[in-house]
Chains A and B, each alone.
Chain A
Amino acid sequence: GAVVSQHPSWVICKSGTSVKIECRSLDFQATTMFWYRQFPKQSLMLMATSNEGSKATYEQGVEKDKFLINHASLTLSTLTVTSAHPEDSSFYICSARVPSGNYNEQFFGPGTRLTVL
């Protein structure tokens, strides 16, 4: 199956700093990637849809100026959490949609655990 990687797998930062998370499709090209956030014992919440070469589409309630998404190539999307605060501490997961075959299937990255002190 298709492989999606994320880097870093975990990060601890101070309040007020910015953190960048990378999502890569390793063996396929992904025109569309999705970013999710998952708080402890809760489900995945879609934050935004990342489209290669265009602006991301954010879900209602997600601040686009705080969560910057860049999808500059067909294999890489980045999420930057700007001026992070403790309430941003969460598990961030990306997924990529395979561009051919079954469009309903998304492959998930292993996730990045962000802790803001």
Chain B
Amino acid sequence: EDKVVQSPLSLVVHEGDTVTLNCSYEVTNFRSLLWYKQEKKAPTFLFMLTSSGIEKKSGRLSSILDKKELSSILNITATQTGDSAIYLCAFNAGGTSYGKLTFGQGTILTVHP
């Protein structure tokens, strides 16, 4: 059974800190790995990582895919209170399951002023 595991499940930091969120996966037909940020409502897209694009960066956020270790990390530098949210990683399967997303449990990040 395909599985996505995130760690830590929750994290509390202060503004200005740097955080690293982890995502590991065991899937039979990997196509891509995605990171989402969820605040009060639905998730918003952050990054997509594939075999041809294993590192992405946008402002203070960056993400790397380690295909050998079957894992990915999401880094947030100089955290702000607005970064407080649930961060979800999900994998997108290929083959007959194309397009379906399997989500990890999420990491609840709390950034204190």
Within 8 A of A (CB), among B68-92: 88, 90, 92
**Cβ B105 vs Cβ A104 within 8 A:** no
Within 8 A of B (CB), among A58-117: 93, 95, 97, 102-111
Q: How large is the interface on B (under 10, 10 to 19, 20 to 34, 35 or more residues)?
A: 20 to 34
A89 CA / B88 CA spacing, docked (Å): 22
The segment from B11-19, B57-65, B96-104 that touches chain A is B96-104
**Cβ B99 vs Cβ A103 within 8 A:** yes
**Cβ A110 vs Cβ B101 within 8 A:** no
A106 CA / B90 CA spacing, docked (Å): 11
In this complex, the member of B32, B34, B101 whose beta carbon has the largest number of chain A beta carbons within 10 angstroms is B101
Q: A105-B45, A108-B43 are in contact. Are A43 and B104 (CB under 8 A)?
A: yes
Q: A43-B104, A104-B34 are in contact. Are A32 and B48 (CB under 8 A)?
A: no
* Chain A neighbourhood of B31, CB < 8 A: 104
Q: Which residues of A contact B (CB under 8 A)?
A: 32, 34, 41-46, 49, 93, 95, 97, 102-111
The 8 closest A-B pairs by CB, nearest first: A108-B42, A43-B103, A110-B41, A44-B103, A104-B32, A43-B105, A111-B42, A43-B106
Q: Which residues of B contact A (CB under 8 A)?
A: 31-32, 34, 41-45, 48, 50, 88, 90, 92, 98-106, 108
In the complex, given contacts A44-B103, A106-B45, what are 7 additional A-B residue pairs having Cβ atoms less than 8 angstroms apart? A41-B108, A43-B106, A46-B103, A103-B98, A104-B48, A104-B50, A104-B99
19 residue pairs bridging A and B, Cβ less than 8 Å apart:
A32-B99, A34-B99, A34-B101, A41-B108, A44-B43, A44-B101, A44-B103, A46-B103, A93-B42, A95-B42, A103-B98, A104-B48, A105-B34, A106-B99, A107-B45, A108-B42, A109-B42, A110-B41, A110-B42
